[in-house]
Structure 1
């Protein structure tokens, strides 16, 4: 009798939580100082808006670096540093963005059209920029008048405004850019409710209330500290002990534990997010692995994964199982045929390959209890059909470096999701995309993605993205698992947190009650 791979892996994974120790809380923060301490499981890779590329950076930017646009609680795009939505030319190939008047950067210098142009040009041209693909439709940025930016496009771009509501729309102080250049991240200056005051690598980043913020009356905190704790159980323990006041990105099991507290010292905020989890399989010819060489073996690997059982075993059935990157909230989401869970079929494919079994696979995952639990369940499922999966845990910065260089076999990776479907496809599946970790390269796929982003007709976009998803599915190089439901634990005396479906909690209006 074969032992169920999910049950065995989940039992083993539970051992990860038994050896965790709660780190010292330090002497910065807390309600007595009116400084909010927030834990998050990963550390920002960079505080330079041009180069930053992980979710932790997106979270931290909300406190000190605002964008031209943002989203509201229904994922509508709304002005932030822009004074209004863009005025778009009739042919769709240019637009004007009015800039909010009376705004200053946190170094006291004014925000104007010239400052916006400088940041957008840097995003588009800096060799290390992670924003290039996001802004690839832009041909030129100019200053129409002191408070209006004019953007000329190579082609109509439906996703552009959504990109400007994300990191591509983050605007940095020209004075700081001129002073620091490539070292901007060491002392970043933007427009925001808080301003950077220090960073202890691997531990925390500190911010203090800005003296220059245009909306300062809404900011009640004296400061905010982001502390990095990659174990959800440890973060929960810190919250329960009162050494921190907010714990971002809790595992569902820990969120349920907080909800069941008898004295209700804490509460749980929930977001059905646009994020998703996926598996990247390296298909570059030089990878030289069994999976890179054979689409049939990649299909067998996908057939070995029971998405529903994975969701139940690791996430208490809290996520939305799906096999495509478009969020279920999107009007462009369409049904696609998923590769079915079929372990017997996977065994037949492996047997027909003629390769010695078990077939080796190295699965790269992020450090932390939840990713490793998930990796162990996938490992057990795949090993059950004839693979030999070894798990390689790495910190996020190291994992991204290997992923971008193509120096990996299989990578279990989450994507925090974007409001517009282009942000969930373009940079991840097109040739040369900075987040195209698996090395997909198809002129037909590239053309489909570009066409989908060049039309504003919903039915046309929906069909084009359906074709994109089907083509990616046929490669079995990028396996989508589910869309995330995320949880934030917060002390009951912390109010004013905004938590939207983009999965990013905002603390601009947070405050302590007594």
Structure 2
């Protein structure tokens, strides 16, 4: 069936400078100090040439879009592997390798995508519909792919002509465009895929302003300007060098010493010092993701397995989970742990998302009610709670503050630290009571909910399972009307808030430190620095 000319115009407006929700949802304290600007406002002219050194806060995993799972990997991909769609400065979805927004059939089960023409991969291979099909099929069917869930709704990818692909869906799935604006929409050179197969990430080839040159594990990743890029006139820099600098204090010091000219994800306790240097600037991005903790309410044998009964005080009692949350002061946590630089909230969808109902409010700290709930439970106090957290200094500080606040309500929180990867493994396996965790966020709310709070979702470490959460999220994914989607997501989030498998604390704000001589950096709501127009100020 030919699609009707109903074009998917999925606009999600999420300004970068957001206002923090207080403990009761009414605070007007800015999440971002007025002295920190948006990178998208920097339009100074740049001169051609030069090498930009960028400090990353971690070493990315494989640079293969099909299997990558790290935020830092997405940062590198943002300048090397373009997608069918992208977001702009206001977080609206826009075409990138696609020539236009997708067209839907009347039943929403056929999606037709027109492609840019005259485009080449960074190895000179022609970009066309066959290449798109090869990458999408790899993303959705390869047994090692981490994109299978992203494209689960797609049953077939067909080549209509060299500049057109058609996706057949199992069901209408409105978030598909947003999925194709992330790694699931990255298109790889078919020539490189055929040559490397499973080892594509060792020498990746995509369409992008920069091309992969080399990688030294744990040290650096080098990208060179791509001569075959379709918009090469925009690209001014000769080279990008990503340096892996895990320690946040060392990242800030290297920025001040000019060993790097850009530093990603500045720790909130280093932002002020970077701002104070007259040669440096700080710009803000992010806000789509969230941070908080999961409470195991049903994960007895793995997040993707059937939920069961958890034999812990918090896991068994919704009232005790409510008491635990009411013992916490989100504003105080933000100020104490993060210098007030994140955006306090208790829901997973950003505060000004058009898909967030206005009637969602956050509970203020209510220690008296928390104590009453604990006493009414009949569980002897102090109630033991084990909290697993990554072993970095900031997460340990967060755990200690939660520990102190919860103690006042009658909980005895024991903090257990481990490497980040080990904590994630604990979460997946259900071997935890409470687990500190976060999510980098997606532009469509489905990406912050499905697989995170729905039954047997791969990242639903809490083991939540309730039709009041699952059904409206599924219905919202098939709905095209933003107002109806917002109503459905609101219903699901309210029910999830009652279950408290996840307790959200704030939306992550990212802070990018740059030399004032660097201009043209784009830093949007996804927190991925884009250097396509960047360079040194002329």
TM-score (ref. length: structure 1): 0.88
Matched, 1:319 2:342: yes
CA-CA distance at 1:372 after TM superposition: 2.7
Q: Give a deviation string over 1:393-412, Cα, whole Å, max 9, x none.
A: 44443333332233333222
Q: Residues 338 and 142 from structure 1, CA distance in 2 versus in 1: closer, same or farther, beyond 3 angstroms?
A: same
| Secondary structure of 1:429 counterpart | coil
| Secondary structure of 2:117 counterpart | coil
* Runs of 5+ consecutive residues of structure 1 not aligned to the other structure: 1-30
Tell me what 2:493 maps to. Answer: 469
Q: Residues 315 and 174 from structure 1, CA distance in 2 versus in 1: closer, same or farther, beyond 3 angstroms?
A: same
Query: Which of the residues 278, 291, 305 maps onto 1:277?
Result: 291
User: Do the aligned residues in 2 keep the contact of 1:282 with 1:409 (CA within 8 Å)?
Assistant: yes
Q: Give a deviation string over 1:206-238, Cα, whole Å, max 9, x none.
A: 222223322222222222122233332221111
Distance 1:125 1:325 in 2: 29
CA-CA distance at 1:353 after TM superposition: 4.1
User: Greater shift after overlay, 86-95 or 359-368?
Assistant: 359-368
Matched, 1:452 2:476: yes
Q: Give a deviation string over 1:56-113, Cα, whole Å, max 9, x none.
A: 1221110211100001001111111111111222332212111111222222222111
User: Do the aligned residues in 2 keep the contact of 1:319 with 1:485 (CA within 8 Å)?
Assistant: yes
Distance 1:270 1:409 in 2: 34
Residue pairs, 1:418-429, within 5 angstroms: 418-429=442-453
Distance 1:512 1:257 in 2: 23
User: Do the aligned residues in 2 keep the contact of 1:246 with 1:490 (CA within 8 Å)?
Assistant: yes
Tell me what 1:332 maps to. Answer: 355
Q: Residues 355 and 432 from structure 1, CA distance in 2 versus in 1: closer, same or farther, beyond 3 angstroms?
A: same
CA RMSD in angstroms comes to: 2.3
Distance 1:40 1:378 in 2: 29
Query: Which of the residues 173, 177, 182 maps onto 2:193?
Result: 177
Distance 2:121 2:49 in 1: 25
Tell me what 2:318 maps to. Answer: 295
Distance 2:394 2:247 in 1: 8
User: Do the aligned residues in 1 keep the contact of 2:299 with 2:463 (CA within 8 Å)?
Assistant: no
User: Do the aligned residues in 1 keep the contact of 2:320 with 2:373 (CA within 8 Å)?
Assistant: yes
| Secondary structure of 1:141 counterpart | strand
* Runs of 5+ consecutive residues of structure 2 not aligned to the other structure: 1-46, 301-309
Distance 2:406 2:334 in 1: 16
The number of residue pairs the alignment matches comes to: 482
Which structure shows the bigger proportion of residues in helix conformation? 1
| Secondary structure of 1:250 counterpart | coil
User: Greater shift after overlay, 93-102 or 395-404?
Assistant: 395-404
TM-score (ref. length: structure 2): 0.84
Q: Residues 228 and 295 from structure 1, CA distance in 2 versus in 1: closer, same or farther, beyond 3 angstroms?
A: farther
Distance 1:37 1:391 in 2: 37
Tell me what 1:498 maps to. Answer: 522
User: Do the aligned residues in 1 keep the contact of 2:49 with 2:535 (CA within 8 Å)?
Assistant: no
Tell me what 1:5 maps to. Answer: none
Distance 1:200 1:444 in 2: 48
Q: Residues 34 and 105 from structure 1, CA distance in 2 versus in 1: closer, same or farther, beyond 3 angstroms?
A: same
User: Do the aligned residues in 2 keep the contact of 1:365 with 1:399 (CA within 8 Å)?
Assistant: yes
User: Do the aligned residues in 2 keep the contact of 1:275 with 1:503 (CA within 8 Å)?
Assistant: no
Distance 2:291 2:509 in 1: 11
Tell me what 2:12 maps to. Answer: none
Distance 1:369 1:129 in 2: 32
User: Do the aligned residues in 1 keep the contact of 2:299 with 2:430 (CA within 8 Å)?
Assistant: no
Distance 1:425 1:272 in 2: 18
Q: Residues 98 and 135 from structure 1, CA distance in 2 versus in 1: closer, same or farther, beyond 3 angstroms?
A: same
Distance 1:327 1:486 in 2: 14
Matched, 1:266 2:280: yes
Q: Residues 206 and 131 from structure 1, CA distance in 2 versus in 1: closer, same or farther, beyond 3 angstroms?
A: same
Q: Residues 128 and 304 from structure 1, CA distance in 2 versus in 1: closer, same or farther, beyond 3 angstroms?
A: farther
Tell me what 2:21 maps to. Answer: none
